[in-house]
Amino acid sequence: FMNYYRKTQELAANEPANFQRLLDSVKNDELAYMKNSAAGKALPKDFQSYWTTFLKYSVYDATLHYPVLHEMIRQKTQSIQSVAPELYTVTRKTPAVFDDKNLDIAFYQTYVQRYYSEMLNANGLTNMISGDPATGVQDRSKALAQTDSALHLLYKNAPPKTAAFAAGRLIATDAKTWTLDEVETRVAEYKKHFPKSEHIAVLDKVAYDIKKFNPGQPAIDFAFTTLEGKSVKLSDLKGKVVYMDFWASWCGPCKGEMPHAKKIKERFKDRDDVVFLYVSIDDKEEAWKKGIQSMDISGMHTRTPGWGGEIAKLYQIGSVPAYFLIDKKGNFVTKNTPRPSQTDEVIRLVQSLL
């Protein structure tokens, strides 16, 4: 499976004219191998049917995600700002083939979750947030324009179990960047469509977790040991503004943000009531310390090894870098804390808290 998946991912480096042909070729090779293996052997028909369906949806899933993956490979980065419109010609050809009996197939799950979102992307409808950088006021009237359309289409067109799964997964996956009101509104709508869904418990947990990180909520306290060996609690820093950065020495985007962070720290270098707290998820202490030294990262440092580290779990860190801004009262300030590369915005926010 992993070898096949790797092949389909690598094919995204090709231009649209060749991608579909090569993708079909890889799929057909797998089908031929299965049929040859089955010749003269008691290969269960149920397995052959499952594998054929699995391969079909692997192709659909690959064509849905082709534009972004192609650009990630071409640009050699996971931070894609835009996608060439012509790449979506591949996505638009992906058919809508929904069937509840396929929900145990991994590729069917990812396909149904993102089908309408990617189709809307292909046709120019995206989630949009605008605002005034000077004031930090956001216009979120179109923040979930694509998401709401995708959910509506799932509720309307997909069979019941598929719709319940895909809509639930879409909300649960994307909700981390939404406001609490936005989450609660979508979860309430979901419950109207599927009042007995097994996914409701997960969505309620998502809403609860979002509330924990909502602006004005107390920052989740934790104890840690600094680079110098001092025992500290986050709550010990009350009375100071804390800009918290989850990072790792192996993380390219994390390292890319460090020069921008230096500019922000320079702006507040004479303030003893502003703390830059770095929480590394490096597994190895040596790599952590070497990263701090090589990038000359000033500030307060601690380490919570791996994704399963205590602090990383408390703050639900699923990717790095991740940032949190905490005011002098020890409360979260923003839902989506700007990165250091959004230098003016970070400076404005910190300054407003002093």
Cis peptide before 321 (omega within 30 of 0): yes
E strand spans, the chain: 130-132, 137-139, 223-225, 231-233, 241-247, 274-280, 300-303, 322-326
Token readout for 346 is 């970070």
Length, in residues, of the chain = 354
Task: Point out which residues pair with 278 in neighbouring strands.
Answer: 245, 301
How much is the pLDDT for 288?
Answer: 98
Where in the chain is CATH 3.40.30.10? 223-352
pLDDT of amino acid 131: 76
Residues (pLDDT < 70) of the chain are 1, 38-42, 133-136
Q: How far is CA 230 from CA 168, 199, 238, 251, in A?
A: 44, 44, 17, 26
Identify the CATH class of 223-352: alpha beta
- CB 19, CB 90: distance < 8 Å: yes
Compute how many other C-beta atoms are within 10 angstroms of the C-beta atom of residue 313. Answer: 12
Place of tokens 């008691």: 42
Buried b (16+ CB within 10 A) or exposed e, 143-181: bbebbbbbbebbbeebeebbbbbbbbbbbbebbeebbbe
The CA distances from residue 331 to 188, 205, 348, in Å, are 27, 21, 18
Query: Would you state the pLDDT for residue 135?
Result: 66
The set of residues, in sequence order, having a beta carbon less than 8 Å from that of 292 and lying 6+ positions away, is: 227, 278, 301
H or E, element range at 206: helix 200-212
Q: Residue 35: what pLDDT?
A: 81
Global pTM reads: 0.78
> Distance (Å, rounded) from C-alpha 308 to C-alpha 303?
12
